[in-house]
Copies of this chain bind each other. A is one copy, B any other.
Amino acid sequence: MSQSHLSKNYHGLMIKIDGVILTRLRQIMDERGGVLHMFRNDAPEYKKFGECYFSEVLPGSVKAWKLHKKQSQNLAVPIGRIRLVIFDPRKVSPSYLKLQVIELGRPDAYFRLHIPNGLWYGFSCISKDRALIVNCADMIHDSDETQIMPIEVADIPYSW
């Protein structure tokens, strides 16, 4: 919880974990319902389209921790609000052992978050209604490259 103040101030330049990119997305208002940008093939961090899928998170629920050895994530939260935590276990990284907390949700924090491979991350729903995360990953799901670590055993300095 000690990092939660960061979520009040984040923007592109505040990201302190190497390779993570936070990009403000356009919300085009319409009285019938808005159009929300997410990801285009001309985005700087676009490499390849692997898979688009959704993760629903119920109020108060936590999904953590996960690390992808190869796959990179591109996330946005069109519904509800998410607190997302990233931890850097890469010994060669300039941000080795750094941790960052980011809140994602409309209208004020409608961002795309790029999480490169090799980082631990997890998230919780902090809205009173369910949240929906949309992920455009650069590879299709492969359990061989996915690591899961239960919260109880994780040696990560963050308490959910």
Interface: A94 (CB within 8 A): no
Query: Are B78 and A51 touching (Cβ within 8 A)?
Result: no
Contact size range, A:
35 or more
Interface residues of A in 20-49 (CB under 8 A from B): 31-42, 48-49
Question: How many copies make up the complex?
Answer: 2
Contact A55 B40, CB 8 Å, known A78-B132, A79-B79: no
> Which DSSP category, helix, strand, loop or mixed, fits chain A's interface?
strand
Of chain B, the residue at the smallest CB distance from A78 is B54
Given contacts A32-B61, A33-B61, list 20 more A-B pairs with CB under 8 A. Answer: A31-B58, A32-B57, A32-B58, A32-B63, A33-B55, A33-B56, A33-B57, A35-B54, A36-B54, A36-B55, A36-B56, A37-B53, A38-B54, A39-B52, A40-B50, A41-B51, A56-B78, A79-B132, A134-B134, A136-B136
Q: Which residues of A are in contact with B by a Cβ distance under 8 Å?
A: 31-42, 48-58, 61-63, 78-79, 125, 130-132, 134, 136, 140
